[in-house]
């Protein structure tokens, strides 16, 4: 990481936008040059690295870049101990303001990304982010591709005012989704997810321009597929029977192996949580298991069932394969019910967003990572790295460990 001469540019203002696209407006030409120099700095040899006066609250540019190197190493170590840490790093919060219009004559969807507000800070010290917005049309039959705004340096309330267009036939727009993601640009690693909103375009009134704030939520897994077949019956005086039969065409995330699915059955308000047996390596598992719950008849109208289909990982992390929510309000206690329910990622539904939580281990890992970043400890991570070495960490409580190699001062 080195090779480029130091620069005497002045530090960027707090809300300056840095373009990530190849064609730049004259107004941001200086910023484009700044990014080019930063890229050279990032890709050169560490022993030759020289920094200009890029400065922020951490101090000099060299101190800040050294801190970011150390934070990158810290993130990678925790990610290796438990990948779920990075998925949950910082709760999704804030809103993004958009204007939407559809031109029927040209079959063109126009989206203006105006601004965002109250975003979460992705700096591990909890002070700043470098946000930008990415837009994707789903399905993308016309190959529009992803659209991205410029990113704004060190802001939690950025303004963008950029317009993008998507080609989409009028007959298709009613079944299309527009995924809006806000991310924080990271010079050294993967950009941090800050939140998203998936807009059902069929619900928009296209007779006029729609301008409004859209709340950011946790990331939705749109790759989930398949159906879950169950039966419900009721045995007087107050026994609800939940029968888990089988699942069809589950999502396969790893082309080299099939999942090991099982079902977790939850009735919110009842402490008992049931699980089926694990079926090994199949996308079409069969269980034929029955679970009983004591639910008085008069409580059925206020009860619902949550069914989680999970992929049991015997080494690593158990992954969600979709959920089903079933209201018991209209359950016919004489006839019962048997049928299939489509699986989906429902963690952002209004019903469960307040109930959705991470495991205690992941939460402790996350809090530990924040603390290490804030206090720049241990010193073996927060120092200038030269030469070749291996950093290893181990959590006795969680029973996990991780290591990262540093070659010529560069974390691998």
Cα dihedral: 397, 277, 307, 246 (round 10): 150
pLDDT of residue 318: 80
For the cut 90, the answer to whether the pLDDT of residue 101 exceeds it is yes
Yes or no: say if 127 and 57 are a contact pair by the CB < 8 Å rule: yes
Backbone phi, then psi, for 15, in 5-degree steps? -110, 25
Q: Can you name the CATH fold of 227-342? A: Immunoglobulin-like (2.60.40)
Of 130, 84, 92, 152, the closest CA to residue 316 belongs to 84
Two tokens, residue 372: 């290490």
Distance CA 395, CA 64 (A): 28
What does the DSSP 8-state code read for residue 106? T
pLDDT of residue 70: 81
pLDDT of residue 239: 95
Domain boundaries, the chain: 1-49, 55-88+366-412, 95-215, 227-342
- Residues 255-282 have a mean pLDDT of 91
pLDDT per position as a tens digit, 190-213: 788 899 999 999 999 999 999 999
**Long-range CB pairs of 57-60, under 8 A, 24+ apart, other chains included:** 57/127, 57/128, 58/125
Distance CA 397, CA 395 (A): 5
Does the pTM surpass 0.75? The reply is no
For the cut 50, the answer to whether the pLDDT of residue 39 exceeds it is no
pLDDT band of 339, cuts 50, 70, 90:
very high
Position with higher pLDDT, 118 vs 262: 262
Two tokens, residue 237: 């005086």
Query: Do you know the residue count of the chain?
Result: 412
Yes or no: say if 264 and 308 are a contact pair by the CB < 8 Å rule: yes
Yes or no: say if 151 and 18 are a contact pair by the CB < 8 Å rule: yes
pLDDT of residue 350: 56
For the cut 90, the answer to whether the pLDDT of residue 180 exceeds it is yes
Distance CA 243, CA 180 (A): 38
- Residues 319-345 have a mean pLDDT of 92
Instruction: Give me the sign of the Cα torsion angle 7, 9, 15, 16.
Output: negative
- Helix pair angle (61-81, 360-375), 10° resolution: 160
Task: Give the sheet arrangement for strand 337-342, strand by strand.
Answer: 286-294, 239-248, 227-235, 337-342
pLDDT per position as a tens digit, 286-331: 999 999 999 999 999 888 899 999 998 776 668 889 999 998 988 9
pLDDT of residue 44: 38
pLDDT of residue 288: 97
pLDDT per position as a tens digit, 219-259: 888 889 999 999 999 999 999 999 999 999 999 988 888 99
pLDDT of residue 111: 96
35: burial class by Cβ within 10 Å (0-12, 13-18, 19+)?
A: middle
Q: Are strands 389-395 and 337-342 parallel, antiparallel or unpaired?
A: unpaired
Yes or no: say if 58 and 64 are a contact pair by the CB < 8 Å rule: yes
Which residue carries 């949550």 as its tokens? 306
Yes or no: say if 26 and 34 are a contact pair by the CB < 8 Å rule: no
Question: Which CATH architecture is the domain 95-215 placed in?
Answer: Sandwich (2.60)
User: What is the number of other CB atoms lying within 10 angstroms of the CB of residue 166?
Assistant: 22
Position with higher pLDDT, 354 vs 107: 107
For the cut 80, the answer to whether the pLDDT of residue 12 exceeds it is no
């Amino acid at each position: 990481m080195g090779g480029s001469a130091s620069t005497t540019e002045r530090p960027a203002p707090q809300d300056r936008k840095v373009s990530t696209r190849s064609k730049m407006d004259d107004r941001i030409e200086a910023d484009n040059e700044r990014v080019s120099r930063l890229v050279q700095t990032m890709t050169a040899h560490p022993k030759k690295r020289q920094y200009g006066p890029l400065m922020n609250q951490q101090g000099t540019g060299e101190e800040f870049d050294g801190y970011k190197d150390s934070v990158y190493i810290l993130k990678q170590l925790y990610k290796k101990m438990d990948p779920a840490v990075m998925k949950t790093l910082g709760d999704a919060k804030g809103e993004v303001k958009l204007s939407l219009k559809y031109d029927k004559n040209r079959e063109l969807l126009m989206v203006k990304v105006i601004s965002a507000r109250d975003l979460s800070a992705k700096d591990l010290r909890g002070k700043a982010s470098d946000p930008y917005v990415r837009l994707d049309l789903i399905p993308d039959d016309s190959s529009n591709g992803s659209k991205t705004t410029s990113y704004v340096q060190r802001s939690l309330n950025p303004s963008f005012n950029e317009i993008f267009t998507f080609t989409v036939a009028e007959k298709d727009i009613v079944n299309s989704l527009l995924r809006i993601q806000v991310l924080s640009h990271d010079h050294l690693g993967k950009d941090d997810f800050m939140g998203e909103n998936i807009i059902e375009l069929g619900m928009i009134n296209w007779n006029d321009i729609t301008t409004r704030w859209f709340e950011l939520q946790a990331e939705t897994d749109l790759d989930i597929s398949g159906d879950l077949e169950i039966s419900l019956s009721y045995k007087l005086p107050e026994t609800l029977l939940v029968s888990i039969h089988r699942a069809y065409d589950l999502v396969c995330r790893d082309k080299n192996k099939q999942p090991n699915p099982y079902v977790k059955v939850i009735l919110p308000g009842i402490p008992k949580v049931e699980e089926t047996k694990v079926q090994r390596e199949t996308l079409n598992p069969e269980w034929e298991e029955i679970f009983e719950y004591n639910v008085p008849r008069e409580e059925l109208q206020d009860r619902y069932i949550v069914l989680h289909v999970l992929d049991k990982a015997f080494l690593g992390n158990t992954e969600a394969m979709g959920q089903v929510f079933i209201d018991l309000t209209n359950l016919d206690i004489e006839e019962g019910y048997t049928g299939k329910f489509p699986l989906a990622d429902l963690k952002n539904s209004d019903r469960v967003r307040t109930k959705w939580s991470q495991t205690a281990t992941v939460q402790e890992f996350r809090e530990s990572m924040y603390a290490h970043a804030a206090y720049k400890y241990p010193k073996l991570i927060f120092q200038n790295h030269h030469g070749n070495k291996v950093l290893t960490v181990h959590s006795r409580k969680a029973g996990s460990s991780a290591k990262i190699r540093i070659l010529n001062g560069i974390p691998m």
